[in-house]
Amino acid sequence: MAEETKDSAAPGNPDAAPSAKEPPAPPSRTSTPPESTPAAPVIAGGTNAPPPSTPAAPAPKAPAAPAARPPVAATAAKPVAAKPAAGAADDLTRRGFFSWAAVAWVGFTAAIGGCVTTWGRFMFPNVLFEPPTLFKANKPEDYPAGVVDTRLVDEHGVWIVHDGGKIFALIAICTHLGCPPAWLPTQNKFKCPCHGSGYYRTGINFEGPTPRPLERAKIFVSPDDGRIVVDKGQKFQWELGQWEDPSSFIAG
């Protein structure tokens, strides 16, 4: 009985070792796992009670991730100017030098021209060409009594007048402001168109703003050809008593 007990396990005895002659069959993969044995109940204060658990420390919070920046719009890339080559830079430098040299030469030429012009202006000043003050008229017999001859007014600015047995030359310039009067034969007077000054045939003023009579020029007869010679370079004024001068008239 004892040997039988050792060789074979009693039914229902889990502690019985399997028989050496019959090894246990390997568990099948398709076989269902055995039901788990329920855990023994934990008795408070007993030896099988687990140690009191210590509350776990809270896990440190991870730092907040920085807010994502909005995507920056891609800016248009500025074109990068290509650097000129060494030969091109030298060419530009030479070109700039010649340009400035040309400008300097033009300025120098203009300055020299201005100096020459100024020098010429100094050497040849403006000259006011006026008709000669000494000129000849006709012979005395060509001027009848009571006549005012106007043939020399446009060229020489004088009237040849034969009045009262005398022939004299009146200068055709108004003694008011220098305007040229006109002889009006129908009114028998000299009349200034500027301000209305009036003169008798003799040259004496009688109307308008003129302050004094017309002036006379020197007159004489040339001994060479017997013609009348008038010299405007010498003048005679009535208010100064110069009309009585023999050089201010000739006998008619």
Q: What is the DSSP letter of 68?
A: P
For residue 50, pLDDT over 70 is answered with no
For residue 166, pLDDT over 70 is answered with yes
pLDDT of residue 202: 94
Strand intervals (E) in 55-176: 134-136, 148-149, 158-163, 166-171
pLDDT of residue 113: 83
CA dist 207 and 14 (Å) reads: 175
User: In the CATH hierarchy, which top-level class contains the domain 134-180+214-251?
Assistant: mainly beta
Residues 6+ apart with CB under 8 A from 216: 168, 169, 170, 171, 203, 235, 236, 242, 243, 248, 249
Residue with more model confidence, 190 or 66: 190
Residue with more model confidence, 172 or 252: 172
- Domains of the chain: which residue ranges? 134-180+214-251
| Rg, Å, the chain Cα set | 73
For residue 195, pLDDT over 60 is answered with yes
For residue 199, pLDDT over 60 is answered with yes
Average pLDDT over residues 65-83: 53
Average pLDDT over residues 224-235: 94
Other CB atoms within 10 A of residue 9 CB: 14
For residue 12, pLDDT over 50 is answered with no
Average pLDDT over residues 36-43: 47
pLDDT of residue 44: 46
For residue 103, pLDDT over 70 is answered with yes
Q: What is the DSSP letter of 65?
A: P
Alpha carbon distances (Å) from 149 to 18, 74, 236, 251: 184, 102, 20, 16
